[in-house]
Structure 1
Amino acid sequence: MNTTRRRFITNTLSSGAIAGAIPTAARAQFLNAPRHGLPGTLKERYAKLDAILKQPVFKRELFADPVIIESIELLHNKKQYLCRVRSKDGHEGLSVSNAQQMEVLYPMFVKHIAPFFIGKDARDIEELIPAATVYENNYKAQGLAIWVPIATIEFAILDMFGKMAKKPIGLLIGDKIYNDRISVYQANGERDISAEETIDHLKRDVAISNAKAIKFKLGGRMSHAEYPVGRSEKLIPLVRKTFGDQMVISADSNGSYTPAEAIPIGKLMQEYKYAFYEEPVPFDWYEETRQVADALDIPIAGGEQEPSTHNFRWLIANGGLSIVQQDMFYFGGMIRCMQVARMANAFGKQCIPHISSTGLGYVYMMHFVSAISNSGPYHEFKEFNNELPYHCDTSSLRSDSNGVIQVPSGPGFGVDIDPDFLKKCSVLTG
Structure 2
Amino acid sequence: MNRRRDFIKKTALGALIPTTGLPLYKTGQGKIRQTDYSELDRILEEPVLDLSALKEPVILESVELLRFEDNFLCRVRTKDGAEGLSVGNNFQMVHLYPIFTNRIQPFFIGKDVRNWEQLLEEVYVYQSNYKLQNLAFWVPLATLEFAVLDLLGKLSQKSIGNLLGDVYHSEVAVYQANNYRGKSALESVERIRQNVEETQARALKFKVGGRMSKNADYPPGRTEELIPLVRKTFGDDMVIYADSNGSYTPDEAIRIGRLMEAYRYDFYEEPVPFDWYEETLQVAEALNVPIAGGEQEASMHTFRWLIQHDALQIVQPDIYYFGGMVRSMKVAKMAAAKGKECTPHISGGGLGYLYMMHFVSAVPNAGPYHEFKGFNNELPLECPTSPLTSEGGVVKVPTGPGSGVIIDPDFINKHKEVV
Normalised to the residue count of structure 1, the TM-score between the two structures is 0.91
1:26-45 equivalent positions in 2, closer than 5 A: 26-27=1-2, 30-31=3-4, 33=6, 35=8, 37=10, 45=36
2:187 corresponding residue in structure 1 = 197
Q: Is the 8 A contact 1:396 1:406 kept in 2?
A: yes
The structural deviation recorded for 1:44 is 6.0
Q: Flag the 1:139–1:38 CA change in 2: closer, same or farther, 3 A.
A: farther
Inter-partner Cα distance in structure 2 for 1:242 and 1:266 = 19
The structural deviation recorded for 1:37 is 4.1
The structural deviation recorded for 1:230 is 1.2
Which residue type is aligned with residue 60 of structure 2? Answer: I
Inter-partner Cα distance in structure 2 for 1:152 and 1:32 = 34
1:33-182 equivalent positions in 2, closer than 5 A: 33=6, 35=8, 37=10, 45-174=36-165, 176-182=166-172
1:260 corresponding residue in structure 2 = 251
1:347 corresponding residue in structure 2 = 338
Inter-partner Cα distance in structure 2 for 1:74 and 1:124 = 21
1:228-239 equivalent positions in 2, closer than 5 A: 228-239=219-230
Inter-partner Cα distance in structure 1 for 2:34 and 2:60 = 41
The structural deviation recorded for 1:387 is 1.8
2:384 corresponding residue in structure 1 = 393
Q: Number of residue pairs matched? A: 400
2:18 corresponding residue in structure 1 = none
Query: Do structure 1's residue 421 and structure 2's residue 414 form an aligned pair?
Result: no
- Measured against aligned partners, the alpha-carbon deviations of 1:123-174 in whole angstroms (never above 9, x if no partner) come to 1100111211111111111111110011011110000010011110011111
2:278 corresponding residue in structure 1 = 287
Inter-partner Cα distance in structure 2 for 1:286 and 1:77 = 40
Q: Secondary structure at the match of 2:4?
A: helix
Query: Which residue, out of 290, 293, 301, partners 1:299?
Result: 290
- Measured against aligned partners, the alpha-carbon deviations of 1:238-297 in whole angstroms (never above 9, x if no partner) come to 000111111111100000000011001000000000000000000110000000000000
Q: Is the 8 A contact 1:279 1:302 kept in 2?
A: yes
Q: Is the 8 A contact 2:5 2:288 kept in 1?
A: no
Q: Is the 8 A contact 2:84 2:150 kept in 1?
A: yes
The structural deviation recorded for 1:396 is 1.3
Q: Secondary structure at the match of 1:31?
A: coil
Which residue type is aligned with residue 148 of structure 2? Answer: I
Which residue type is aligned with residue 352 of structure 2? Answer: G
The structural deviation recorded for 1:39 is 12
Inter-partner Cα distance in structure 2 for 1:256 and 1:202 = 21
Q: Is the 8 A contact 1:38 1:347 kept in 2?
A: no
The structural deviation recorded for 1:62 is 2.1
**Unaligned runs of at least 5 residues, structure 1:** 1-25
Q: Is the 8 A contact 1:303 1:325 kept in 2?
A: yes
Inter-partner Cα distance in structure 2 for 1:392 and 1:376 = 25
Which residue type is aligned with residue 66 of structure 2? Answer: L
Q: Is the 8 A contact 1:39 1:45 kept in 2?
A: no
- Measured against aligned partners, the alpha-carbon deviations of 1:2-38 in whole angstroms (never above 9, x if no partner) come to xxxxxxxxxxxxxxxxxxxxxxxx21xx126453649
The structural deviation recorded for 1:86 is 0.6
Inter-partner Cα distance in structure 2 for 1:207 and 1:329 = 28
Query: Do structure 1's residue 212 and structure 2's residue 202 form an aligned pair?
Result: yes
1:377 corresponding residue in structure 2 = 368
Q: Flag the 1:181–1:238 CA change in 2: closer, same or farther, 3 A.
A: same
- RCO greater where, 1 or 2, for CA within 8 Å and sep 6 or more? 1
Q: Is the 8 A contact 1:38 1:319 kept in 2?
A: no
The structural deviation recorded for 1:346 is 0.2
Inter-partner Cα distance in structure 2 for 1:48 and 1:32 = 22
Q: Is the 8 A contact 1:326 1:353 kept in 2?
A: yes
Inter-partner Cα distance in structure 2 for 1:77 and 1:389 = 13
Inter-partner Cα distance in structure 2 for 1:358 and 1:245 = 32
Q: Is the 8 A contact 2:5 2:290 kept in 1?
A: no
Inter-partner Cα distance in structure 2 for 1:81 and 1:280 = 33
CA RMSD of aligned residues (A): 1.5
| Identical-residue share of aligned pairs (%) | 58
**Unaligned runs of at least 5 residues, structure 2:** 14-21, 23-32
Inter-partner Cα distance in structure 2 for 1:270 and 1:43 = 30
Q: Flag the 1:154–1:277 CA change in 2: closer, same or farther, 3 A.
A: same
Normalised to the residue count of structure 2, the TM-score between the two structures is 0.93
Which residue type is aligned with residue 218 of structure 1? Answer: V
The structural deviation recorded for 1:78 is 2.6
Q: Flag the 1:38–1:53 CA change in 2: closer, same or farther, 3 A.
A: farther
Q: Is the 8 A contact 2:9 2:285 kept in 1?
A: no
